[in-house]
Amino acid sequence: PIYNEQKYYDEKLEIELRSNMSYNEQKYQHGFKIALNKINQIESGELVNATLVESESENRPVDHYNLRMKEEKVAGKSLSQSLKQWESIKQFAKEQSFKHVVFNGIGGSYLGPFMLIQAMHGDEYNLKQQKEGRPSLHFVANTDSDAFSQLFQLIDVKQTLMVVISKSGSTAETATNTTIFQKLIGAESNKNMCAVTIPGSQLHQKATSQKWIGIFEMNEATGGRTSICSSVAMVPCAFAGLDFDNFIKGMSDMDDNTRQPVNNLAFMIAAMIDTQLSIKQKNMIILGYSDSLKHYYHYCQQLYMESLGKEYTHDGRIQPKGLTVYGGIGTAEQHAFMQQIQKGIDDSFVKFIQFQKRRFDDYEDEKAGTMGRQLLAFLKGTELALVQNNRQFMMITCKECSMYCIGQLIALEERIVTVLSALWDINAYDQPGVQDGKLAAGRVNKLSLAIEKQLTQCEGTVEEVMKAININEEPRLVESILNDFIFNSKYYKTNVKGSRKWENGRFYYKLAA
């Protein structure tokens, strides 16, 4: 099949774009000017995280671009300042003798560092750590007691450093993991603790008063999903032996490209995406044709969906926006969803990412010549099939899998988000929907403690139990807590025991001392 191909290549950055997705350049000229102005406002330190809807605003600047700018447009924030902090963090990591390091954070505090370590060291990164004489690395993000317990059955807690990564320290998941770890350590747990946080935060105060062995600062204006260019990723990279300096330089160089009014790669891709979505709402599937990109889509999922999934425009109009992102690595995940993409409903476009140059040994293969060329055949074969089935795709090719090139890719994705948010007139840097969930979780926690305190001998439906223990809440919430109590009662502070049975389409509970 023949199609109109969009092509772009930047000789300096050695990055290429090819796509069958088109856009009307003339139509987007005004939008591009708005996006350039938005980028300039961000980089000038203006208050851009704001809308006329109070609940949709954090009313502060956004500084992730400043952290890698060659020019210091905002005092104390520049590429050179970031590299100075990186040197001090590297020295700290070098001086430690722990056998294990646990990184405790969620969202951007977890997804970015984990993606980088897996990208450069592979799935078996701890074998690499062991071979090169560095500590084993582990991540805790969720409050999953089974996973937490499994981890500390396998590693010596006394030989473990926990790095708590949280702007505030009040994030429920991270705070819970911190408290439990310190209880496991016992006395002098401060000698096994390190913090990455903002000055004056609850976590900063705790780490200072308890004399934790390391405190590394980040800025309040650095959002979690864009914090990969800050100390949030510096500390994990230092313990993993990764060259963060090349990563942030790659980001800086890409920012230079996407700051230009012409030949701007971020503008091109954003316009292609917006054109597709203006015709029909579609999902973006990210397929990385390298196992090094296994967690790239997961990182981008938060970046795009948390940034662009908004209800209001800047001036308070209700105009829901968003872009659903999922994906994985080719060819593995193709077996999960490519049948539907090729032959089913036309609800997605595909973003391929590949590295031009292979890092390690290639192996002979009779069908393709080499193993690497077999992967190339699958990539191009999938592209051909998409064209044949009149499906949309774009192909981004970077020179190689290196910290510098991954820095380029992440910086490009961040700029695309900024451009789309400018085109859609939304605030990409707050997350009120996430806050809604946190507040609701707090409500359930209070309910759980109230039920535990008031449990008494009774039986009946959930509504009858609620009446007996004087609880006024939504029955479905109470039912979930009662079910948890029945299966995990040894962790509740009560002598009451419980059971349930299923009758007439509902559970009946029996609680007895």
Q: What is the pLDDT of residue 4?
A: 77
Determine the average pLDDT of the residues in 269-274: 98
Kindly state whether residues 310 and 389 are assigned to the same domain: yes
CB atoms within 10 A of CB 262: 6
Assess if residue 149 is contained within a domain.
Answer: yes
Kindly state whether residues 424 and 449 are assigned to the same domain: no
Q: How far apart are CA 477 and CA 64, in angstroms?
A: 39
Q: Of 97, 116, 100, give the one whose Cα is nearest residue 108.
A: 116
pLDDT band at 437 (very low <50, low <70, confident <90, very high): confident
Active site residue 438: yes
Query: Cα 117 from chain centroid?
Result: 14
Kindly state whether residues 331 and 465 are assigned to the same domain: no
Mean pLDDT (the chain) is 95
Percent of the chain with pLDDT over 70: 99
Burial of 482 (0-12, 13-18, 19+ CB in 10 A): buried
Q: What is the pLDDT of residue 235?
A: 98
Q: Write the pLDDT tens digit of every residue in 300-349.
A: 999 999 999 999 999 999 999 999 999 999 888 878 888 999 999 999 99
How many CA atoms are closer than 13 Å to the CA of 21, on its beta-carbon side? 30
Q: What is the pLDDT of residue 251?
A: 98
The parent domain of residue 188 ranges over 78-242
CA R_g for the chain:
25
Q: Are 485 and 498 in contact (CB under 8 A)?
A: yes
Determine the average pLDDT of the residues in 453-477: 94
Stated pTM of the model: 0.93
Q: How far apart are CA 296 and CA 382, in angstroms?
A: 20
Assess if residue 395 is contained within a domain.
Answer: yes
Kindly state whether residues 89 and 207 are assigned to the same domain: yes
Assess if residue 128 is contained within a domain.
Answer: yes
Kindly state whether residues 230 and 169 are assigned to the same domain: yes
Residue 282, pLDDT > 70, answer yes
Catalytic position from the list 173, 306, 333, 413: 306
Catalytic position from the list 438, 446, 453, 467: 438
Active site residue 306: yes
Which tokens in the block code for residue 12? 């300096």
Task: Tell me the sheet residues that pair with 509.
Answer: 460, 500
Q: Are 279 and 273 in contact (CB under 8 A)?
A: no
Assess if residue 56 is contained within a domain.
Answer: no
Residue 158, pLDDT > 80, answer yes
Q: Write the pLDDT tens digit of every residue in 180-210.
A: 999 999 999 999 999 999 999 999 999 999 9
Determine the average pLDDT of the residues in 496-502: 93
Kindly state whether residues 22 and 109 are assigned to the same domain: no
Assess if residue 379 is contained within a domain.
Answer: yes
Residue 494, pLDDT > 90, answer no
Kindly state whether residues 166 and 291 are assigned to the same domain: no
Q: What is the pLDDT of residue 311?
A: 95
Q: Write the pLDDT tens digit of every residue in 76-126.
A: 999 999 999 999 999 999 999 999 999 999 999 999 999 999 999 999 999
Give the CATH number, domain containing residue 388. 3.40.50.10490
pLDDT band at 2 (very low <50, low <70, confident <90, very high): low
Task: Tell me the sheet residues that pair with 149.
Answer: none
Q: Which of 242, 276, 294 is the last residue of a domain?
A: 242
Active site residue 335: yes
**What is the tally of structural domains in the chain?**
3
Catalytic position from the list 84, 335, 343, 453: 335
Determine the average pLDDT of the residues in 24-39: 96
Determine the average pLDDT of the residues in 394-405: 98
Assess if residue 73 is contained within a domain.
Answer: no
pLDDT band at 3 (very low <50, low <70, confident <90, very high): low
Q: Write the pLDDT tens digit of every residue in 220-232.
A: 999 999 999 999 9
Kindly state whether residues 37 and 130 are assigned to the same domain: no
Residue 506, pLDDT > 90, answer yes
